[in-house]
Amino acid sequence: MKKVKTLGELKASGYTPRSIKEELRQNLIQKLKKKQTVFEGILGFDDTVLPDIERAVLSRHNMVLLGLRGQAKTRIARMLVQLLDEYMPIVAGSELNDDPLAPISRYAVDLIAEKGDDTPIDWVHRNDRYVEKLATPDVSIADLVGDVDPIKAATLKLPYSDERVIHFGLVPRSHRSIFVINELPDLQARIQVALFNILQEGDMQIRGFKLRLPLEIQFVFTANPEDYTNRGSIITPLKDRIESQILTHYPRTIDVAQRITQQEADLTPEQLKLVEVPEVLKILLEQISFSARESELVDEKSGVSARLSISGYENLVSTAERRMLINGEKKTTARVTDFWGVIPAITGKVELVYEGEQEGPYAVALHLIGEAMKEVFLTYFPNPDKLRKGQERDPYGIIKAWFAGGHSVDLLNDCSEQEYRKELEKVAGLRRLVEAYGISKEDQFIFMELVLHGLAEFNVINKNFVNATLSFNDSLAGMLRDDDDDFDGDGF
């Protein structure tokens, strides 16, 4: 079809005009019949969001994707382009993507009247049929709809009464395209009003020009829930004209969240080759996000973006990589201790309530990591609190006795693999414990460290972070030895 260069050739080819909504619908039908994946790389929405979107497309609906930040709303909107035809014919030089067989602009109508079947045709790729606008308070009606252009009037020597002096905005220029407005509630109410007729009747009025432009546009809006901020909301008449409202959500399982992180994390081939991240640490990282979404210190209306886990994973790998380089090692494995490097990825991605602000972002990040460690620890080992009540035999007895004897473990953040293992090996009963619970040999040191963190979170032993060193000890034993060392620093 791209070989067609004139209107006459286009007619002879058998081309039939159709609306963009019908185009999306028919192409979706073909994909569904062939069992093809429609939204490649979108995980966790197979039974919820994606079927709703497909139903909206089949119904030829405009839609709004409603959900908290970091729920792939914009990404889904951009992927709708894949449901368009690969190329679309337009009248050459048209501002409004005029269909050669159904022109709507004065320019295209006049050109076809003048040249007839010799009217030149251009072809537009589907990637160029996507227009996106971030709604901000300074967006004007002229930006979206258009305005009179004095320069055009002077250049063409036309009076302002001639509609050819109009400079069209983003919406009419999106004719036969997908038009996305992100963060719709941030758009001023009077600007939202300007979308009423465009959505329903196709009428536009620009500086006194009332134009009947039967625009064919697939509108997709994205928005946070209305109660997210006080910046604004979607006005009711506009909401009423958007046929489908689709609710997005965060990953509902650790497994899905983990797959998203692995897919989206931007790591170099060198990092992937030299730094190994044990499965338990990947789970621990995702659990931080889950803990944050349930924390009383974090504003649940703001949400906790999937970007926290993605950035956190990149930081975790980089922390291990930096340690490897400092110690002159050829390869390394990430440790629980390396999570101190994940803290910057947490502090910038959680919005705190008043109590959280009082604690401070750093302390809240440590708290979230601690809560996540508790959850993961209990996945593999018994709860020390229940053991204290005599419900089970205490498997931690030897470890507790070792610490009660005045011993301690000091893990320097950037210590070598040899120093790391030597420090963990000296804890009596620690290796035997992880072996007893079926931990594979290659993961034993990671789990040995996890046990220490877990016992510290349940206050069985003491944990402090001072001068880039993580220290585990028994505080009571320290007092009995009249130990004057100051271990009052925060730790994770």
Check residue 486 and give its pLDDT.
47
Check residue 169 and give its pLDDT.
85
Q: Is 322 exposed, middle or buried (0-12, 13-18, 19+ CB in 10 A)?
A: middle
CATH number of the domain located at residue range(s) 7-247 in this protein: 3.40.50.300
252-380 is classed CATH 1.10.8.80? yes
CA atoms within 13 A on the CB side of 357: 5
* 282 vs 172, higher pLDDT: 282
| CA gap 307, 392 in Å, rounded | 41
Q: What angle do CA 171, 172, 177 make, to 5 degrees?
A: 75
Check residue 212 and give its pLDDT.
72
Q: Assess contact for 43 and 257: CB atoms under 8 A.
A: no
Most confident of the ranges 15-19, 212-216, 449-453? 449-453
Check residue 395 and give its pLDDT.
92
Check residue 76 and give its pLDDT.
96
Nearby residues of 68 by Cβ (< 8 Å), 6 or more positions away: 224, 225, 228, 248, 250, 301, 302, 303, 305
Binning pLDDT at 50, 70 and 90, where does residue 131 land?
very high
Over residues 290-314, the mean pLDDT reads 93
Q: What is the pLDDT of residues 361-391, one digit of tens each?
A: 999 999 999 999 999 999 999 999 887 555 5
Binning pLDDT at 50, 70 and 90, where does residue 204 land?
low
Q: Assess contact for 28 and 79: CB atoms under 8 A.
A: no
| CA gap 459, 451 in Å, rounded | 12
Check residue 142 and give its pLDDT.
82
- Stated as kind and residue range, the H or E segment containing 425 is helix 417-425
Most confident of the ranges 45-49, 182-186, 197-201, 225-229? 45-49
- Stated as kind and residue range, the H or E segment containing 400 is helix 397-404
| CA gap 307, 70 in Å, rounded | 6
pLDDT surpassing 50 at residue 229 = no
* 210 vs 419, higher pLDDT: 419
Binning pLDDT at 50, 70 and 90, where does residue 18 land?
very high
Q: What is the pLDDT of residues 157-169, one digit of tens each?
A: 776 566 677 778 8
| CA gap 129, 133 in Å, rounded | 13
pLDDT surpassing 90 at residue 228 = no
| CA gap 24, 27 in Å, rounded | 5
Over residues 352-367, the mean pLDDT reads 92
Tokens read off for 483 = 């130990």
DSSP symbol at 256: H
| CA gap 386, 374 in Å, rounded | 14
Check residue 208 and give its pLDDT.
62
Minimum mean pLDDT range among 145-159, 241-255, 475-489: 475-489
Tokens read off for 112 = 């076809």
Other residues' Cβ atoms within 10 Å of the Cβ of residue 44: 22
Model's pTM, two decimal places? Answer: 0.86
Check residue 1 and give its pLDDT.
61
Over residues 95-116, the mean pLDDT reads 92
pLDDT surpassing 70 at residue 286 = yes
Q: Assess contact for 90 and 99: CB atoms under 8 A.
A: yes
DSSP symbol at 410: E
Check residue 394 and give its pLDDT.
85
Binning pLDDT at 50, 70 and 90, where does residue 488 land?
very low
Give the SS3 label for residue 204: strand
Tokens read off for 374 = 């508790």
Other residues' Cβ atoms within 10 Å of the Cβ of residue 200: 11
Minimum mean pLDDT range among 3-12, 101-110, 232-241: 232-241
Torsion of CA 150, 156, 162, 163, to 10 degrees: -80
| CA gap 184, 172 in Å, rounded | 18
Over residues 290-303, the mean pLDDT reads 91
β-strand pairing of 146-148 with 63-66: unpaired
Check residue 106 and give its pLDDT.
85
Residue 458: which of 378, 399, 404, 402 has the closest Cα?
378
| CA gap 92, 84 in Å, rounded | 20
DSSP symbol at 105: S
pLDDT surpassing 60 at residue 214 = yes
Minimum mean pLDDT range among 184-198, 285-299, 326-340: 184-198
Residue count of the chain: 492
* 330 vs 162, higher pLDDT: 330
* Strand partners of residue 223: 66
C-alpha separations of 344 from 311, 347, 362 in Å:
9, 5, 8
Check residue 341 and give its pLDDT.
93
Minimum mean pLDDT range among 42-46, 137-141, 288-292, 458-462: 137-141
Other residues' Cβ atoms within 10 Å of the Cβ of residue 113: 10
pLDDT surpassing 90 at residue 345 = yes
β-strand pairing of 177-182 with 203-206: unpaired
Tokens read off for 167 = 């400079």
Binning pLDDT at 50, 70 and 90, where does residue 182 land?
very high
Check residue 483 and give its pLDDT.
46
Other residues' Cβ atoms within 10 Å of the Cβ of residue 9: 15
Binning pLDDT at 50, 70 and 90, where does residue 137 land?
confident
The pLDDT mean for the chain works out to: 89
* 81 vs 392, higher pLDDT: 81
For the chain, give the percent of residues with pLDDT over 90: 69
| CA gap 309, 262 in Å, rounded | 10
pLDDT surpassing 70 at residue 308 = yes
**Residue type, position 169, single letter:** G
| CA gap 492, 486 in Å, rounded | 17
